Structure 1
C-alpha cells in the first residue's frame, strides 16, 4: 500500500471587499516509506525536502506586523486579518541527493536531483533501501524496498495567515498581538498561531523631533506557529508480498502517529513613514530570524536484519520488523539576516487596506484588511 501524507498549505489573500481562504496542499508521496529507511537517512531526506517550507514559513510570519510607522495614540487600536506570502528562490526548489551522504538509501534510477516541497510537480528519483540479514556490519546487504521521492507542489510560495491586534499605550508605545486558535482544515490537519510585538515612537526622544515631517519608530515582533497532521504507517505496508520479513508487533503499535511542525520567527525593524488622513506610507530596515522544527511522535516500523537468520538454516525470515520511536526530528534555520521593507495603508473611515513588501533572501508580500481607530 502506498502512503500519501498531505501537509497543509493555507493562505489568506485579502481584497477590498473581504478575504478568501485558499488552501494549497502538498503531498509528501511515500513519506511513510522514507521514515521506514534508517533514521539518519530519513531525517536527511525529509530536511532537504522541507527546507523551503520551513524557511518560507519563518519569512512569511515576519511580515504584517505593522501598516504605519506611527504607533497608535493612547487607547487607539486596530484589528487586521492578513496573510504573508514568502517567495521561494529558484535554487531552493530542488536538491542533489548525493550531497546528503546517505548510508542505507541509494539512487536506483531517475537521476540525483529531487524536488523540494516547493519544486516542480514531477516524479522524483527512485531510491532503494538496503539492510543486512547478517545484522549490523554484515557483508550480505540486500535491497529491502524502494520508493520514489515525492513530487513538488509546483507552487513557489509559502503563505501564512494571521490575525493581528494593536492597542496604543502611554509614551507613544503600541502593543501588538497575533492569534489564531487551533483550526482544523478537513482531513489535512490543523494549525494555530500566537505572537506578541511592540512599536515605540522615537520622535519624542530627539531634539526637535516633534517638528520632523515624518514618524520614526522601532518595532519588534515574535510569532510562533504550529501545524500538525496525523497519518498511518503500519508494518503491513512493508511486508506486503514479502515472505522473508518477520513481524511480531500488534497493529495497535502504530496508533498515534502524526507529524508536528513548529516555527518560531522574530524580527526587529527601524521604521520611517508619514501618516495622512487617508493614506500612510512607510519604509525601513531590520533583521529577521526563524527556526522550523518537525517531529513525528509515535512508533514507526522499519526493517533490519534478523540476527537469528544466520544461526538457523531452516529460518527463512532474513529480516524483521523493528519499531522506531519518533524517527523524524529535524530543525531548519531560516535565512536569517538583514532586510528592507516598505508598505502602505489606505484608510476609509474606520476600515483600512494595507500591503507591504520585504526584500530579503526569502522576499515576501503581505496584504491585509481590517479596522483601525486613533
Structure 2
C-alpha cells in the first residue's frame, strides 16, 4: 500500500486523538498533573483523569470491535475484499459527567463556592466546568514567625460537548477452504505531524457453519461465527508548563519539560454469531455477540509540580517552588465488556460495495464503509 495512503489512514485513525479530548482537552487536563506533588496527590491526579477520560476507554473499544464483516456469507476460495469504514460510538448521558466528591480523593479538596459545582464534564461532556479543586500546604512566615497556609487551585477541564467517539478503519479479507475468511487490519508505524505516532494491527476469522448443519444445503440463509482482535499503539505530544509568578522559585531549565506526551495502548476483542441472506445486489445480516476491550494511558516525560519551598523561611521570598516528577499518570480501563446485537447491509455495484451497520451495546455504534470485492 502506498505510503501516502498509509499516512491518510493513520491520520484518520488518530481522529479520536486529534479532534477529541485526548488532545483537544489534553493540555487543560494536564493542569491536574500539577497536583501530583506527593504520592497521595499523584493518586488523586490518576483518579481524576481516569474519571475524565472514561468514555474514551468504552467508546474507542466499541469502535475497534466494529466493521469486521459486511455479510454473513464467507468468500469462495481466494475471494477478496478491501473495505475502508468509519465507526462512531455514542456516549450515553450517564457517562458525560461525574461528581468529584464521589471519588474519595485523598489530598485534593473540592472548593465549594457560590458559582462552583462538584459535577464536572467527562471528556465527551459539556464544554464548560465550574469545578475547582485545591491542595493545601503550610509554611512559616519569616517576618512574623507564624504558620501560614497556602492553597494551590486546579480547575477541572470542560469536554468537547460532542458525545461521539469516532474511529476510521481499513481492512482486507480473503477466502480460504471450507468457508473460512481471514481478515487483516494493519497500519505500519507512522510518524505524523505534531509528534503523533501510531501503529495498528488486527486479525479476524469468519467461518460458515451452515455447511455442518443437518440439511445445510437446503437452509435459505447463511449462518456463521466470527471473531476479531485489534491492537492499537499511539502517542501525541502535549505541554504542561510550570506555574509562573514572583512567589514561585523555579531552578529548572525549560528543556527539562521537553518530551512530554500521552501514550495510548488499546486492545479489543469480539466474537459474534451471524445469520444473513446474500442476494445479487444486496445483502442483509443480523447477529448477537460479545465484546471486550482495554485501554491504558500514561504520560512519559518529566512534569513540573508546585511544592512548598523549604528555603522560604531563611533565604527566599518565594513560599512555593517547582519540582519535577516523571511519568505521573498511568491509568487503565479493563472492564469494558458487554453483549451486543447488530444488524447490517451491503449494496454491491459490480465490484464496488457500500456497507452500513448498527451495533446495540453499552456504547451503540453506527458504521458506514466503502470498498470493493471479488468472488
TM-score by length of 2: 0.86
Query: Going by fraction, where is helix more abundant, 1 or 2?
Result: 2
Structure 1 distance, partners of 2:299, 2:17, is 26
Equivalent residue, structure 2, for 1:16 = none
Equivalent residue, structure 1, for 2:70 = 67
- Gapped runs of 5+ residues in structure 2? 1-9, 37-41, 141-146
Equivalent residue, structure 2, for 1:24 = 19
Equivalent residue, structure 1, for 2:135 = 129
| CA drift at 1:323 | 1.2
Structure 2 distance, partners of 1:164, 1:53, is 22
Shift in alpha-carbon separation, 1:80–1:187, aligned structure 2, 3 A: same
Bigger Cα displacement from structure 2, 173-182 vs 271-280? 173-182
Structure 1 distance, partners of 2:66, 2:308, is 50
Matches within 5 A, 1:37-56: 37-38=35-36, 39-56=42-59
TM-score by length of 1: 0.86
Q: Is the 8 A contact 1:11 1:23 kept in 2?
A: no
Equivalent residue, structure 2, for 1:196 = 203
Shift in alpha-carbon separation, 1:370–1:334, aligned structure 2, 3 A: farther
Equivalent residue, structure 2, for 1:371 = 372
- Gapped runs of 5+ residues in structure 1? 1-8, 13-19
Q: Residue 34 of structure 2: which of 33, 36, 46 is its match?
A: 36
1:143 aligns with 2:151: yes
Shift in alpha-carbon separation, 1:206–1:132, aligned structure 2, 3 A: farther
Shift in alpha-carbon separation, 1:68–1:185, aligned structure 2, 3 A: same
1:242 aligns with 2:246: yes
Q: Deviations over 1:317-336 (max 9, x none)?
A: 43332211101100013531
Counting matched residue pairs gives 348
| CA drift at 1:107 | 2.3
Q: Is the 8 A contact 2:74 2:180 kept in 1?
A: yes
Q: Residue 170 of structure 2: which of 163, 174, 181 is its match?
A: 163
Shift in alpha-carbon separation, 1:10–1:103, aligned structure 2, 3 A: farther
| CA drift at 1:190 | 4.6
Structure 2 distance, partners of 1:113, 1:89, is 16
Equivalent residue, structure 1, for 2:278 = 275
SS at match of 2:106: coil
Q: Deviations over 1:245-304 (max 9, x none)?
A: 333322222111100111111100011111111111111111100011101000111122
Root-mean-square deviation over aligned CA pairs: 2.5
